[in-house]
Chains A and B, each alone.
Chain A
Amino acid sequence: MNSPALAKTVAMKLLDLITSLKLTIVCLAALMVLVVACTLAQVNLGMYAAVNQYIRSFVVWAEVPGTGWSVAVFPGGALVGLVLTANIVAAQLRRLELSWKKAGLWIVHAGLILLFIGEFGTSLFQVESRLAIEQGQTLSYVERQRGLELAVIDVTDPAHDDVYGVPESRLARGGDVAVTGTPITLRVKGWYQNADLVNRGPADPPSPATAGVGVGVAVREMPPVTSDDDMNRSAAYVEPVAGGRSYGTWLVSNVLGAPQSFIHEGRTYQLQLRQQRQYLPYAITLKKFSHDVYPGTDIPKNFSSLVHLSNPGRGEERDVLIYMNQPLRYDGKAFYQASFGKGDTLSILQVVDNPGWLLPYISCVLVAAGLVVHFGISLQRSMRRRSAAASVQGTLTS
């Protein structure tokens, strides 16, 4: 067989494979396995880590006990979803004829493809944050639930702060980080995703820190937390360098409350490791948080937050009531009532920023509409057949 013929044969086989119904079944079965495995893994890993490991990964890795090596054991949800999407698209293009009779099936398949695209978009672009706000407090930022930043804050200006956020992922890589917009370069000398911070004892090795509170603190590395309710106590040693001068090595941690600072060329810079913040062009004030219970019981009936939304840029000033399943949707974000605390004076809102949030709804509508159309077409065809059969039988009997 010559090369073009061989290539054609291989291409045809590949096309057969990618459009095969068996592949669809295998993918659906794999998704079922992944869902079960992910559900079970949540016991040890917590929901966030389990979803990342099983559903939003291309390969599921497992550690070989005692070796520290990881081996691929199963395709991850992202890979299976990608193959399934390719399978549906290819099968539809190859098999389904472009006719009104098949319109329902076209719509159903389009809905399914949109559903997969929506999930990919969600895994790539959805950002979950939270707004923990006290009654009477006004905030114009949200904090990422997972993900820290080293905030380098130029507090020199009496009216404004310039906040530069170095994300946790960048600190974890180590090396030099140029803080763009400032003359500062941060030399990351150590990163601990989770650690215990204790007062330095005589048995502790010398501290890498030469400035700030870290000089008297010992850092003991711990395994990262897995429960969704726990929080890593992260820490890093960083050395700010500016204008050829070193400002010492500082210990920063999200459990050190007060920021630490140094002055370069008359400008004061604070260093603080904290939850990653996203500042908003508008402000939210919590006017009142309500925790209603059924009369005579402690059984919750409703949680609600009456907030004031102020956006001077758009000339908007209005009150909004956020309650269960009634989020505030504003400027691409949805603020859901999630939790509360401090004797019902603190409201915690889950903030979801998902540019593709409408896609699952559209795909569900498409799938439902496609099924209705397909059923209607089939019903019409069936009724025509029955009426034709009845007329034939009538002709024969007469």
Chain B
Amino acid sequence: MNIKIAASAAALAVAVAGGCRRDEVTHYRVPKERAGADLTPAAVAAPPPGMAGDVPAPPPPSGQARLTWTLPAGWSQSLTGGMRYATLKTPVPGKLDVSVVVLPGPAGGELANVNRWRNQIGLPPLDAAAMAKERKTLATKAGPLAVYDFTSEGQQKSRVVAALAEAGGSTWFLKMAGDEKPVATARAEFIRMLESVHLE
């Protein structure tokens, strides 16, 4: 009987150990995935199996209302033409991401997008009145651009400088985000680029 009890206890312990193991938070440190670097173009375009795009990406902006700008010296860009319309590279070292995103329609509205940017760096949401105080308006050939500049709290600060404009039924988001220092370094050139925005 003792053998049976011991065997049952061992089986239970193994089962419990197995069950617990499957419920833990796992951690892996892995090399960055090279998005599509190894793939044929067709393979990159297709969604992964079983994950067919149920939330389709919006269509690229129509040719009539394409926003364009003058790149600052030393900057480069790649136009992808999708929801993330362009990715810009600056010569400034450090963590910095500059992008142009275009979405159809009002894309949730100005307040929702401003609060989304603030949320991304851990700042509390604003109401419409507070947002209006934060807004700087730039006059461009494509019309007025609403520009916002937010810096996070904490020891290692993040900063977002972003602008949005409506053109041809789409909303354009021109955004620079990253660590506070590189954003501050590139800010003047980014603002000059925003001032150069015009319709093509």
Contacts and interface: CB of A to CB of B under 8 A. Distances in A.
- The answer to whether A and B belong to the same complex is yes
Interface of A: 11, 82, 86, 89-90, 120, 124-125, 132, 134-138, 140-141, 149, 155-156, 158-167, 169-170, 177-181, 197, 210-213, 215-216, 231, 233, 242-243, 245, 247-248, 254-257, 261-267, 275, 277, 279, 285, 341-342, 345-346, 348
Contacts, number: 143
Interface stretch (B31-39, B64-72, B133-141, B164-172): B31-39
Given A138-B38, A247-B122, A167 B23 contact: yes
A213 B58 CA distance: 13
29 contacts: A11-B1, A124-B14, A124-B15, A125-B18, A132-B48, A136-B39, A136-B40, A137-B38, A155-B32, A161-B30, A161-B33, A162-B27, A164-B26, A167-B22, A167-B24, A167-B26, A169-B23, A170-B23, A180-B25, A210-B119, A216-B108, A233-B54, A262-B119, A262-B121, A263-B152, A266-B158, A266-B179, A345-B42, A346-B49
Contacts of B112: 215
Contact of B27 (A164, A264, A267): A164
Contacts of A262: 119-122
Contacts of A164: 25-27
Nearest to A163: B28
B55 A213 contact: yes
Nearest to B31: A160
Nearest to A125: B18
Nearest to A82: B11
Interface string B41-56: 0110011111101110
A394 B24 CA distance: 78
Top 6 A-B pairs ranked by shortest CB distance?
A266-B156, A255-B54, A165-B26, A134-B43, A279-B28, A124-B18
Contact of A257 (B53, B120, B154, B179): B53
Interface string B97-121: 0000000000010001001100111
Chain B's interface size range is 35 or more
Nearest to A276: B26
Given A140-B30, A163-B27, 9 more contacts: A86-B4, A125-B18, A135-B40, A135-B43, A161-B30, A165-B26, A215-B108, A257-B51, A265-B155
A180 B30 contact: no
B18 to A, nearest CB: 4
By secondary structure, the B interface counts as: loop
Contacts of A167: 22-26
B158 A263 contact: yes
B29 A156 contact: no
B22 to A, nearest CB: 7
Contacts of B18: 124-125
A124 to B, nearest CB: 4
A165 B28 CA distance: 8
Contact of A266 (B32, B53, B157): B157
Contact of B25 (A134, A135, A165, A254): A165
B77 to A, nearest CB: 20
Contact of A177 (B25, B33, B43): B25
B40 A161 contact: no
A265 to B, nearest CB: 5
Given A169-B22, A265-B155, A266-B156, A247 B30 contact: no
Given A124-B15, A265-B155, A163 B30 contact: yes
A166 B42 contact: no
B49 A348 contact: yes
Nearest to B15: A124
Residue in B29, B122, B157 whose Cβ sees the most chain A Cβ within 10 Å = B122
B29 to A, nearest CB: 5
Interface in B82-109: 95, 108
A86 B4 CA distance: 8
Contacts of B60: none
A11 B154 CA distance: 69
